[in-house]
């Protein structure tokens, strides 16, 4: 090293991404290893500004795959523990999920219902006549000219997931961030990882290293504020992960798909907001309409509804630094369905809208938690990252320590190899109604 050159700080762990996944991971790493120096960087100017903040922020335990249940149930119970026992408000409200199902969809549900109940998932079937009574705003059998053109179907029954609800992911992220800082962790914002640096383990100082025949090691990240050196690098960048990993030839199995949320307000929605019979808060649950993939949730604090639709075939996989919601998306894709089943939305236009990204793992829609040499991946949340973030952080921390199993909240255990890039053992998720 040239004399006078500033010695570069070498962090024990560099976590790239201060979303809920990066913060949970950093928190659990620091909890398990108080002596390690851990730095979290993010390109935003504060934590949890990107996809964490742009989510519907709903949480559920209704999964048939044991892996999904372990990840979600343990995380949700940890958030409940934080809110009720540590007295840190997370706006966690168990308002329930309500699936409005066609006859065919209900049959699918019946085929998996017993198994789910056996696993302790609390479900309630709401009969058609009860739905009509409980939700006067709901049209069970759309019959307008438009609904015929659309080919809308009658609602046969409802299924409520009782231990499901909504939460504020920013507050969960804030909890992790605060605790992480208290234990000596550091954060650096407005710092964008441009690329990862891969080096030869035994450098020869020749051009073009590392070569095919050299053992390689991740040295850290190149950022807009210079190079950050670290012994271990954690990739918690969600849908942006391929931007960092593709150039190194690592396929993290993730593709970015835009999700759009539209905030709708209006006095006409008051009765729906105050729907009774589903939860202690006397509000309508997070509600999923039949087919077409439209769903909404009440946001009591802002007296609004957030409405979205699950894009599938036809919605591009494409990443963009500044995703935008498209007004025509609401008009043509969401509104026709929404206003037929729930005419109280008729003539209401979005007051606000925003877009973020799912980091979709198409193989099995379940997170990828793995290590490649000294690089740890926590990616592929596929739309259920917030409800699984605590477990993901614990698994990543266990992987850093080289443990075969991770201890999840509530005395649960899970093998740390189960969510690896190869030889995954996720189990089939059948609750995809």
Residues of the shown chain interacting with a second copy in the complex, contacts defined by CB under 8 A: 149-151, 198, 202, 204, 206-208, 210-213, 216, 246-251, 253, 255, 257, 291-294, 309-318, 328, 332-334, 336-337, 360, 362-364, 372-373, 421-423, 428
Q: To the nearest whole angstrom, how small is the minimum distance from the Cβ of residue 123 to a second copy?
A: 25
143 or 204: whose CB is closer to a second copy? Answer: 204
Other Cβ atoms within 10 Å of 63 Cβ, number:
25
192 or 340: whose CB is closer to a second copy? Answer: 340
How far apart, in Å, are the Cα atoms of 372 and each of 216, 284, 382?
Answer: 10, 44, 21
Q: Which of 388, 432, 400 is nearest to 52 (CA)?
A: 388
Q: To the nearest whole angstrom, how small is the minimum distance from the Cβ of residue 121 to a second copy?
A: 23
Q: To the nearest whole angstrom, how small is the minimum distance from the Cβ of residue 316 to a second copy?
A: 5
> In sequence order, which ranges of 10-144 are alpha helices (DSSP H)?
20-32, 66-84, 103-118, 128-134
114 or 149: whose CB is closer to a second copy? Answer: 149
Q: Which of 284, 301, 292, 291 is nearest to 344 (CA)?
A: 284
94 or 308: whose CB is closer to a second copy? Answer: 308
Other Cβ atoms within 10 Å of 390 Cβ, number:
28
32 or 311: whose CB is closer to a second copy? Answer: 311
Q: To the nearest whole angstrom, how small is the minimum distance from the Cβ of residue 215 to a second copy?
A: 8
- For 208, residues 6+ apart whose C-beta sits below 8 A from its C-beta are none
315 or 412: whose CB is closer to a second copy? Answer: 315
Q: To the nearest whole angstrom, how small is the minimum distance from the Cβ of residue 2 to a second copy?
A: 25
Radius of gyration of the chain (CA): 23
- Token pair of 418 as six digits: 């189960």
Q: To the nearest whole angstrom, how small is the minimum distance from the Cβ of residue 390 to a second copy?
A: 27
Q: Which of 272, 239, 259 is nearest to 334 (CA)?
A: 259
């Amino acid at each position: 090293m040239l004399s006078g050159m500033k010695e570069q700080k070498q962090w024990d762990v560099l976590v790239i991404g201060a979303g809920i996944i990066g913060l949970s991971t950093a928190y659990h790493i620091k909890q398990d290893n108080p002596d390690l120096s851990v730095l979290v960087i993010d390109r935003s100017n504060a934590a949890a500004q990107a996809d964490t903040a742009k989510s519907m922020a709903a949480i559920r335990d209704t999964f048939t795959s044991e892996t999904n249940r372990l990840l979600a149930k343990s995380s949700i119970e940890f958030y409940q523990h934080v809110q009720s026992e540590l007295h840190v408000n997370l706006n966690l409200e168990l308002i329930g999920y309500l699936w409005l199902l066609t006859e065919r969809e209900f049959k699918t549900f019946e085929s998996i219902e017993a198994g789910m109940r056996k696993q302790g998932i609390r479900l309630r079937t709401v009969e058609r006549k009860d739905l009509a009574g409980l939700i006067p705003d709901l049209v069970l059998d759309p019959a307008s000219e438009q609904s015929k053109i659309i080919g809308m179907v009658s609602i046969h029954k409802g299924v409520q997931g009782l231990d499901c609800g909504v939460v504020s992911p920013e507050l969960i992220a804030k909890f992790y961030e605060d605790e992480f800082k208290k234990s000596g962790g550091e954060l650096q914002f407005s710092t964008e990882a441009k690329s990862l640096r891969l080096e030869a383990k035994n450098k020869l100082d020749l051009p073009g290293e590392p070569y095919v025949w050299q053992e390689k090691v991740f040295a850290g990240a190149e950022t807009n504020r210079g190079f950050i050196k670290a012994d271990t690098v954690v990739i918690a960048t969600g849908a942006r992960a391929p931007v960092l990993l593709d150039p190194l030839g690592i396929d993290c199995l993730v593709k970015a798909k835009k999700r759009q949320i539209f905030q709708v307000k209006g006095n006409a929605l008051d009765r729906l907001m105050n729907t009774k019979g589903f939860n202690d808060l006397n509000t309508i649950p997070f509600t999923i309409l039949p087919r077409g993939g439209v769903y909404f949730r009440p946001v009591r604090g802002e007296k609004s509804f957030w409405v979205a639709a699950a894009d599938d075939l036809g919605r591009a996989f494409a990443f963009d630094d500044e995703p935008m919601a498209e007004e025509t998306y609401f008009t043509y894709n969401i509104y026709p369905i929404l206003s037929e089943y729930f005419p109280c939305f008729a003539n209401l236009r979005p007051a606000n809208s925003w877009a973020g990204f799912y980091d979709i793992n198409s193989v099995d829609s379940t997170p990828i938690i793995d290590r490649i040499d000294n690089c740890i991946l926590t990616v592929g949340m596929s739309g259920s990252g917030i409800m699984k973030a605590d477990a993901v952080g614990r698994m990543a921390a266990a992987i850093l320590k080289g443990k075969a199993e991770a201890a999840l909240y509530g005395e649960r255990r899970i093998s740390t190899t189960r969510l690896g890039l190869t030889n995954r053992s996720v189990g089939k998720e059948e609750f995809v109604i």
